[in-house]
Structure 1
Amino acid sequence: MPGRGEAAGPAGLGWAPAGPAGLGWAPGPAGPAGAQPSVRETVEQILQAVRDRDDAAIRTLLADLTAAADTAALLYLRERLDATQ
Protein backbone atom coordinates (compact mmCIF):
# COMPACT_ATOMS: atom_id res chain seq x y z
CA MET A 1 0.00 0.00 0.00
CA PRO A 2 1.22 3.50 -0.65
CA GLY A 3 2.24 5.24 2.51
CA ARG A 4 4.11 2.20 3.79
CA GLY A 5 7.22 2.95 1.76
CA GLU A 6 5.88 1.19 -1.34
CA ALA A 7 5.56 2.79 -4.73
CA ALA A 8 2.08 3.70 -5.84
CA GLY A 9 2.75 2.12 -9.23
CA PRO A 10 0.75 2.59 -12.39
CA ALA A 11 -2.64 4.22 -11.90
CA GLY A 12 -2.17 4.10 -8.12
CA LEU A 13 -2.55 0.33 -7.98
CA GLY A 14 -0.13 -0.03 -5.08
CA TRP A 15 2.67 -1.72 -6.99
CA ALA A 16 5.37 -0.86 -9.45
CA PRO A 17 6.81 -3.26 -12.01
CA ALA A 18 10.38 -4.24 -11.37
CA GLY A 19 12.72 -6.65 -13.04
CA PRO A 20 13.37 -9.86 -11.17
CA ALA A 21 16.67 -10.02 -9.35
CA GLY A 22 19.25 -12.30 -10.85
CA LEU A 23 17.72 -12.48 -14.32
CA GLY A 24 19.80 -9.68 -15.79
CA TRP A 25 16.70 -7.69 -16.67
CA ALA A 26 17.05 -3.96 -17.02
CA PRO A 27 14.25 -1.73 -18.26
CA GLY A 28 14.76 0.18 -21.47
CA PRO A 29 15.48 -0.50 -25.12
CA ALA A 30 18.89 -2.00 -24.40
CA GLY A 31 17.19 -5.20 -23.28
CA PRO A 32 18.23 -7.82 -20.77
CA ALA A 33 21.91 -8.09 -20.00
CA GLY A 34 23.49 -10.69 -22.24
CA ALA A 35 20.43 -10.94 -24.49
CA GLN A 36 21.01 -12.11 -28.00
CA PRO A 37 20.82 -9.24 -30.49
CA SER A 38 18.22 -11.29 -32.36
CA VAL A 39 15.98 -11.27 -29.26
CA ARG A 40 16.18 -7.49 -28.99
CA GLU A 41 15.55 -7.14 -32.72
CA THR A 42 12.53 -9.47 -32.57
CA VAL A 43 11.08 -7.51 -29.65
CA GLU A 44 11.44 -4.26 -31.61
CA GLN A 45 9.79 -5.91 -34.63
CA ILE A 46 6.91 -7.02 -32.40
CA LEU A 47 6.51 -3.46 -31.17
CA GLN A 48 6.36 -2.19 -34.75
CA ALA A 49 3.81 -4.86 -35.68
CA VAL A 50 1.70 -3.84 -32.67
CA ARG A 51 1.86 -0.20 -33.77
CA ASP A 52 0.89 -1.30 -37.29
CA ARG A 53 -1.87 -3.55 -35.90
CA ASP A 54 -0.50 -6.41 -38.00
CA ASP A 55 -1.91 -9.49 -36.28
CA ALA A 56 -0.28 -11.99 -38.63
CA ALA A 57 3.17 -10.46 -38.10
CA ILE A 58 2.62 -10.36 -34.33
CA ARG A 59 1.77 -14.09 -34.26
CA THR A 60 4.78 -15.00 -36.40
CA LEU A 61 7.19 -12.83 -34.41
CA LEU A 62 5.89 -14.12 -31.06
CA ALA A 63 6.44 -17.68 -32.28
CA ASP A 64 10.00 -16.75 -33.26
CA LEU A 65 10.61 -15.08 -29.90
CA THR A 66 9.30 -17.97 -27.82
CA ALA A 67 11.65 -20.35 -29.61
CA ALA A 68 14.67 -18.42 -28.28
CA ALA A 69 13.31 -16.48 -25.31
CA ASP A 70 14.01 -16.92 -21.63
CA THR A 71 12.15 -15.28 -18.77
CA ALA A 72 14.26 -12.12 -18.99
CA ALA A 73 13.47 -11.71 -22.69
CA LEU A 74 9.74 -12.10 -22.10
CA LEU A 75 9.83 -9.58 -19.28
CA TYR A 76 11.74 -7.24 -21.59
CA LEU A 77 8.96 -7.58 -24.18
CA ARG A 78 6.39 -6.78 -21.51
CA GLU A 79 8.33 -3.72 -20.36
CA ARG A 80 8.71 -2.44 -23.91
CA LEU A 81 5.01 -2.99 -24.66
CA ASP A 82 4.06 -1.15 -21.47
CA ALA A 83 6.33 1.75 -22.46
CA THR A 84 4.47 2.22 -25.74
CA GLN A 85 1.13 2.92 -24.06
Structure 2
Amino acid sequence: MLPITTSLKKWGNSKGVIIPKKALDSAGIQGDDMLFEIQVEKGAITLQPKKDGAARMAALFEGYQGKALESEEIHWGTVGEEFEL
Protein backbone atom coordinates (compact mmCIF):
# COMPACT_ATOMS: atom_id res chain seq x y z
CA MET A 1 0.00 0.00 0.00
CA LEU A 2 1.29 3.46 -0.86
CA PRO A 3 1.86 5.96 1.96
CA ILE A 4 -1.21 8.00 2.92
CA THR A 5 -0.97 11.56 4.23
CA THR A 6 -3.20 12.67 7.09
CA SER A 7 -3.04 15.52 9.57
CA LEU A 8 -2.80 15.95 13.32
CA LYS A 9 -5.70 18.04 14.67
CA LYS A 10 -6.45 19.57 18.06
CA TRP A 11 -9.16 17.61 19.89
CA GLY A 12 -9.93 19.14 23.29
CA ASN A 13 -6.74 19.03 25.36
CA SER A 14 -5.31 16.31 23.12
CA LYS A 15 -4.59 15.81 19.44
CA GLY A 16 -6.21 13.36 17.03
CA VAL A 17 -5.44 11.73 13.70
CA ILE A 18 -8.08 10.54 11.23
CA ILE A 19 -7.09 7.14 9.86
CA PRO A 20 -8.56 6.65 6.38
CA LYS A 21 -10.82 3.63 5.79
CA LYS A 22 -8.43 2.35 3.11
CA ALA A 23 -5.62 2.14 5.69
CA LEU A 24 -7.88 0.45 8.26
CA ASP A 25 -9.09 -2.08 5.68
CA SER A 26 -5.52 -2.80 4.63
CA ALA A 27 -4.58 -3.46 8.28
CA GLY A 28 -7.67 -5.65 8.82
CA ILE A 29 -9.04 -3.31 11.49
CA GLN A 30 -12.84 -3.25 11.75
CA GLY A 31 -15.27 -1.84 14.27
CA ASP A 32 -16.12 1.60 15.57
CA ASP A 33 -15.15 1.56 19.25
CA MET A 34 -11.82 -0.17 19.75
CA LEU A 35 -8.97 0.10 22.23
CA PHE A 36 -5.41 0.52 20.98
CA GLU A 37 -2.07 0.22 22.70
CA ILE A 38 0.29 3.09 21.83
CA GLN A 39 4.02 2.49 21.52
CA VAL A 40 6.52 5.30 20.93
CA GLU A 41 9.96 4.37 19.66
CA LYS A 42 12.60 6.29 17.70
CA GLY A 43 10.29 9.16 16.82
CA ALA A 44 7.50 6.88 15.55
CA ILE A 45 4.08 6.22 17.08
CA THR A 46 2.63 2.74 16.56
CA LEU A 47 -0.98 1.79 17.32
CA GLN A 48 -1.68 -1.88 18.06
CA PRO A 49 -5.31 -3.02 18.47
CA LYS A 50 -5.92 -4.46 21.94
CA LYS A 51 -7.72 -7.77 21.94
CA ASP A 52 -10.91 -7.90 23.94
CA GLY A 53 -11.04 -9.93 27.15
CA ALA A 54 -12.66 -12.97 25.54
CA ALA A 55 -10.03 -13.09 22.80
CA ARG A 56 -7.20 -12.79 25.36
CA MET A 57 -8.74 -15.55 27.49
CA ALA A 58 -9.10 -17.82 24.44
CA ALA A 59 -5.44 -17.19 23.58
CA LEU A 60 -4.38 -18.10 27.15
CA PHE A 61 -6.16 -21.45 26.97
CA GLU A 62 -5.29 -22.26 23.36
CA GLY A 63 -4.09 -25.85 23.24
CA TYR A 64 -5.31 -26.66 26.79
CA GLN A 65 -6.33 -30.31 26.94
CA GLY A 66 -7.71 -30.52 30.49
CA LYS A 67 -11.34 -30.54 31.59
CA ALA A 68 -13.17 -27.22 31.83
CA LEU A 69 -14.73 -26.81 35.26
CA GLU A 70 -18.17 -25.31 35.64
CA SER A 71 -18.62 -22.80 38.45
CA GLU A 72 -20.95 -25.24 40.26
CA GLU A 73 -18.08 -27.73 40.48
CA ILE A 74 -15.83 -25.33 42.35
CA HIS A 75 -16.29 -24.78 46.08
CA TRP A 76 -15.51 -21.09 46.53
CA GLY A 77 -15.78 -21.17 50.33
CA THR A 78 -17.67 -18.73 52.51
CA VAL A 79 -17.16 -15.00 52.26
CA GLY A 80 -19.22 -13.72 55.16
CA GLU A 81 -21.53 -15.11 57.80
CA GLU A 82 -23.33 -17.64 55.61
CA PHE A 83 -24.63 -20.82 57.15
CA GLU A 84 -24.99 -24.20 55.49
CA LEU A 85 -28.19 -26.23 55.78
* Bigger Cα Rg: 2
TM over 0.5: no
What's the TM-score, normalizing by structure 1?
0.19
Is the helix fraction higher in 1 or 2?
1
Higher relative contact order (CA 8 A, sep 6+): 1
Q: Which has the higher strand share?
A: 2
TM-score, normalised by the number of residues in structure 2: 0.19
